[in-house]
Amino acid sequence: MSTGRTLITTLLVALLSVIAAPGSRAEPGPAVEALTTCVGTNTVRFDPGLRLLPRHVAISGSGAYSCVSTDPAITSGTSVVTGSGTLGCLTSDGSTTEVITWNTGEWSRVAYTLAVIVQPGGEAIVVVIGTVEAGKFAGSPIASPGAQVTLDPLQCLGSTGVELITGPSTLIIG
């Protein structure tokens, strides 16, 4: 594994350890309904595509997850991601919202307010942290680490840029 990838992996593990460490977050308030962890994949589109130099970009995407929850009715979810910002193949400064529809028909609207995004050559190693603003689990903290990749990082140098990335993602709610 290259030194750069080792560093990225180490940083992500450290960040996730802080997020998941006992006592590292506030005690759940009355709005917290359950602890839910989901694994799946995300596909994210950029319009216009990501290029080497940052520019204003619209973000859209979708996700599909399998879940384990202290609410036994929650077993899966699908999501729609929207957002925008000043993005490039090496840097990101934007905001996103994710609306998750659970297998029960309930939904959650998530606003991500903190992002750690490392983007070597259009590949996105992501940890986003936010809050469930409305719906199921409203008021709960959420973290979503993932790694979305492009099949051709040289697209960063092309006229259209990187328009699509896809890969594994996780949701940790509660």
47, part of any domain: yes
**pTM for the whole structure:** 0.76
DSSP structural state of residue 149: B
2, part of any domain: no
User: For residues 64 and 41, what is the distance between their CA atoms, to the nearest angstrom?
Assistant: 6
How many structural domains is the chain composed of?
1
Asked if 80 and 61 touch (Cβ cutoff 8 Å), the reply is yes
146, part of any domain: yes
**SS3 state of residue 121:** helix
Could you tell me the residue range of the domain that residue 116 belongs to? 33-173
Residue 52: pLDDT band with limits 50, 70, 90: confident
Give per-residue pLDDT as tens, 140-167: 999 988 877 776 778 888 999 989 888 8
Nearest-CA neighbor of 155 among 119, 118, 115?
119
Give per-residue pLDDT as tens, 102-133: 999 999 999 988 766 665 655 667 788 899 99
